[in-house]
Structure 1
Amino acid sequence: MNDAPCPVARSVDLIGDRWSLLIVRDAFDGMRRFGDFQRSLGVARNILSDRLRKLVDAGVLETQAASDGTAYQEYVLTAKGENLFPIVVALRQWGEQHLFERGERHSVLIDTRTGKPIPRMAPTARDGSVLEPATTEVRKVT
């Protein structure tokens, strides 16, 4: 376990590699089985197995018996894992803004209640105003 005093460093240590983050993304999209993750990601079995074990050990995912009664096990997000949703959304929105040409097709995250794309996320102050990097500071551990 990373003992750095920085929450970003500890978070990146757990979910910052490509495969772990994409596994979490796929879990949000409803994937639950090893084979489904492997087909979606095209990752080697040993790497996928390692990342799934790491996410289970950290309490991001948990295993449970397959919902269809087969002998398979499924990987499901825990409450801790579901708390990663804003991270995945923030990465998605940053990618939409900076990594696609105007008019280039890409997947869209939809609010199922309205059928419309979700609005842009932004950190806000207690009064609801949008926070910018220049209006925040990190107080380092001394």
Structure 2
Amino acid sequence: MKGKRTDMGGAQCGIARSLQAVGDWWSLLIVREAFKGRRRFSEFQKSLGLAKNILSVRLRKLVEEGILTVEPDPDSALSRLYLLTPKGRQLCVILVALWQWGEEHCFAPGELDYDIVDSLHGQPLQKLELVAGDGRPLNPQQFRIEARGR
């Protein structure tokens, strides 16, 4: 039996609240497709092969969360455009981090046919890393989550 998801919108954790907004894997794939230039419902549906009812629900949620915005399609009175907002564009760091993690841990050497490259020079992106305020690279043992002084 499938239960209702727990509402994490009030959680005191940035990860939990982020997952509340985009925690569904289809939603992140929709955002990925938006970064690739997809803007119409039909483009998302064709590229993802997602059932129309599920796509509709996910797009509505992304709009409600302010990740996408909806605008009239100048080329068709029957169509709307789904565009990334500034909030949505900031998800590029999350998508690149997931890509790089997946590239390292989910593919055999030489299996992946694509790279994420810099648009200006066509060079692969540097691996993302955690960096302290003073520029030192950090590993997981070198940071912690602390309560803010209130």
TM normalised by structure 2 equals 0.89
* Aligned residue pair count: 141
- 1:79 aligns with 86
**2:132 alignment partner, SS class:** coil
Aligned-residue CA RMSD in angstroms? 1.6
- 1:70 aligns with 76
CA positional deviation for 1:4: 0.6
| Larger RCO (CA under 8 A, 6+ residues apart) | 1
TM normalised by structure 1 equals 0.93
User: Identity across aligned pairs (percent)?
Assistant: 46
Alignment of 1:80-119 (within 5 A): 80-119=87-126
**1:74 alignment partner, SS class:** strand
Cα distance in 1, alignment partners of residues 72 and 136 from structure 2 = 45
Superposition misfits of 4+ residues, deviation over 3 angstroms:
none
Q: Does 1:12 align with 2:19?
A: yes
Cα distance in 2, alignment partners of residues 70 and 45 from structure 1 = 19
* Structure 1 unmatched runs, 5+: none
**1:128 alignment partner, SS class:** coil
The amino acid that maps onto 2:44 is F
CA positional deviation for 1:106: 2.6
The amino acid that maps onto 1:6 is C
Q: Does 1:129 align with 2:136?
A: yes
Structure 1 residue corresponding to 2:54, chosen from 44, 47, 68: 47
CA positional deviation for 1:113: 1.1
CA positional deviation for 1:140: 4.6
